Every structure is written in structure tokens, then in C-alpha cells.
Amino acid sequence: MSTVIEHPVQARLVAAVPRMTVIPSTLHYDTDDPFAVRMTFPGPATLEGVEVCWTFARELLTEGLRDAHGLGDVRVLPYAEGRTALEFHSPEGAAVVHVATDELRQFLAVSAAVVPFGCEHLHLDLDEDLAELMRDVL
């Protein structure tokens, strides 16, 4: 049975649309995908006007609270006292948001209470995942 955690956060948009400086965003954690975190931004905050969801490693978020981490589309790094920067890169451009570090730590603590760090693999159903892949092949 899947457990889903949704944690609202206030993200401050550093670059992009000046009309919205604070974006009510949501962090998601789902035990069906125990290594991942999703961050959703509402439509009014995006250039296309539709909700945008970024998926990245929970470990990236954890490590990014201490030091800059991430080489691909998402980077997480400490910014200033009490804030963490999240950079999102796509072919259309880049956006940087700042989130209160305490909010991120609270989210990570709740996710760790459900799936402790290092135990993510225990929540994977490899047989089911393999069967799903094989259904697509056959």
C-alpha cells in the first residue's frame, strides 16, 4: 500500500516572471517511488500557465542542504542563512527558487519517518516492476 506525503512550501522565485515572487509549491513523497521527491509549481507561476512538476532524488535534496549538489536538470545548494536554492534547468530556460531550509528539513524528516534513509530498496517491488516492463515488450 502506497503512502503519499504532500508538504506545502513557500518558494521565492528568484528569476522569471516578476509578477509572482512567492509561489505556493508542494513537495511530494510517495513510497511507491521511494528514492524520488517531486516538487510541483502551480500554473500561474509558469510561463506556459500549466502546473509543472519536477522529480529528483530525495538524496539530492538532503545533500543539497549542506553543499551544492546536482549535475543535471536540478541542483540544490545552501543559499543564505535559513534558505536553500533549488535550480531547475530545461531546454526552455532555467528557474531558481529559494525555500526555507527548515521547511525542507521538516519534509525530509516526515519522509524519513515513513521510509528511513538507506531503506528505500525495501519498498521496491522488483518482481512487479519487471513484470510491468515485460508486459510492454510482449
Three-state secondary structure readout of 74-97: EEEEEEECCEEEEEEEECCEEEEE
Q: What is the pLDDT of residues 1-35, one digit of tens each?
A: 788 899 999 888 876 455 557 888 999 999 999 99
Question: Quick one: cell of 34?
Answer: 521511494
For the whole prediction, is pTM greater than 0.75?
Answer: yes
Residue 68 reports pLDDT greater than 80: yes
